[in-house]
A and B are shown apart, each in its own frame.
Chain A
């Protein structure tokens, strides 16, 4: 397969990406021939109402699910046709994920939560974890457990965790959805800062400030890309 120069600079290249779920006898077309690219260093916001297919798209981009049809290239690697093991490997090395509800393990300390993806990737991570915690302003909380942190602090820990394996792409699912506006704003600033450092960021959001902060917006409706800027 040949690759165009444009594909070489894109972190995401989706072509006619389609996902169909079977709900009983009914076919649900969650994503319908979605095509777009995200260039290296872009900050993209995906918006849309509930049921528009945002989570489905995030799952496909995070190699957590396989499309029914269409092709997807992540960091110049073809995802289509990869088996489960290879998809896990690609997810581990290429994608960092931030969840709306933080997804921190309650039994682990802040530092243990941050190094978790590195543990699965069998990478040494202590120094990087320290650096990332310092970056998100939580080095002094490294031995604390999630229940001792505020919502904003938990999301910062989750962001540090998403960055531990030095991903090319940061995916976030409503990262400010569970935060008050002031705390949400600090998270948006952190995303902007990371993007400014060269990290490609793609955020699914309902937050108008976050959408505005992104340099590019994609709107999903009924599984289709409504418009793109």
Chain B
């Protein structure tokens, strides 16, 4: 029976080739979109876990937006008073309270905007990826800068080089260049906290305070206390994760809709190919009935063709997703809010198997009507069509 199925498909190479291409493209798009959502979640969780944060203190306003911006090294319009840091550090549940001041600096010579982050040494335990490829891992003076891997590459600076910021008219010396971490730190200019406050006229102000608790289980107990700090509000990492995923949700829904449309078009293409084949081969299918094939066997024959088309198309689609996924990711990345720096595509076994299963299910569904129609052909047609 498989030989019969194979021979039938090889009979119309162009028609079936085009159908395979349609299915492959649809499956590739769908798999990439599924992998994208999974990858985003995994990467984000990985970043948060590596930081070992349980919560952030951000200025009052929209706490989730603020926290998301801070975590991704974006600037805030409001700021926290320095007193909030003292109060946070005094809380009995807090192990580390690391202050940050972030500022975006549009460059006059290029179209890009640099992100400057001021921090003190308490931030280091929260950045386990903080390792230098060259130079020192911390500042020796107020006018030193540590560059993220991408920032150093962009500025073409190495440790010991001078670095002038024309917009703020300040000169820095490069203390070190960080190893690539796959986080948003890669593109940041790090300077001491006090220097940032002076440079951006934010003396005594902070963008956020990242908090690690002595025990992660203390979140429920500590959050209400920290919430009492004037001008500050608490955002836990669980809430943050939800915010990120909500922001992603809109993009993902749009992409999934595209994927479903692609798969529907693929299934319709299989349907059309099979139906055309059944109409074209009516005499031959009736002949099979005349030779003793039961309706079920004819139904199975056409369903087999459908499954083979969609299965091979699906497998090609998986190969296409693995080969072309990174290019698709680059296309989609600019539309993703607060995209993690690491890959967003998680093309794991589960995603690939789901893609193949979906292709087979769509193929089986698309084959039902043509197979039913073929199975209803009268064997008498074989004599009539002679």
Contacts and interface: CB of A to CB of B under 8 A. Distances in A.
A64 to B, nearest CB: 4
Interface string B266-301: 000000000000000000100111111111010000
A74 B293 CA distance: 19
A107 interface: yes
B382 A120 contact: no
B386 A119 contact: no
B4 A64 contact: no
A138 B378 CA distance: 31
Contacts of B291: 97, 103, 116-117, 120, 161
B372 to A, nearest CB: 14
B7 to A, nearest CB: 4
B380 interface: yes
Contact of A55 (B3, B289, B294, B384): B384
Interface stretch (A36-44, A84-92, A126-134, A211-219): A84-92
The dominant DSSP class at the B interface is: helix
A64 B288 CA distance: 12
Interface residues of A, number: 30
Nearest to B376: A84
A165 B8 CA distance: 24
Given A91-B379, A108-B4, A117-B292, A173 B297 contact: no
Interface in A115-163: 116-117, 119-121, 161
B7 A173 contact: no
B382 A108 contact: no
B383 A107 contact: no
B294 A85 contact: yes
A112 B3 CA distance: 9
Contact of A116 (B8, B11, B288, B384): B288
Nearest to A204: B383
A97 B290 contact: yes
B302 to A, nearest CB: 15
Contact of A64 (B8, B284, B297, B383): B383
A105 interface: yes
Contacts of B297: 120
B301 to A, nearest CB: 10
Contacts of A161: 291
A174 B386 CA distance: 10
B383 A99 contact: yes
B10 interface: yes
Given A105-B284, A107-B11, A120 B293 contact: yes
B1 A119 contact: yes
Contacts of B284: 105
A6 B167 CA distance: 114
A221 interface: no
A55 B379 CA distance: 12
A64 B379 contact: yes
B383 A173 contact: yes
Contact of A58 (B11, B287, B378, B383): B383
B10 A88 contact: no
Contact of A99 (B4, B10, B382): B382
B295 A88 contact: yes
Interface string B2-24: 01100110110000000000000
A84 B295 contact: yes
A64 B290 contact: yes
A59 B284 CA distance: 16
Given A103-B287, A107-B11, A121 B292 contact: yes
Nearest to A63: B379
Given A84-B295, A107-B10, A65 B380 contact: yes
A62 interface: yes
A175 to B, nearest CB: 11
Interface string B302-339: 00000000000000000000000000000000000000
Contacts of B289: 64, 88
B206 to A, nearest CB: 76
A142 to B, nearest CB: 15
Contacts of A206: none
Nearest to B385: A101
Contacts of B288: 116, 120
Given A105-B284, A107-B7, A64 B378 contact: yes
B284 to A, nearest CB: 7
Contacts of B383: 55, 58-59, 62, 64, 99, 173
A108 to B, nearest CB: 6
Contacts of B295: 84-85, 88
Interface in A48-101: 55, 58-59, 62, 64-65, 84-85, 88-89, 91-92, 97, 99-101
19 contacts: A55-B383, A59-B380, A59-B383, A64-B383, A88-B292, A91-B290, A99-B287, A99-B382, A99-B383, A100-B386, A103-B291, A103-B386, A105-B4, A105-B284, A105-B287, A107-B11, A116-B288, A117-B292, A119-B1
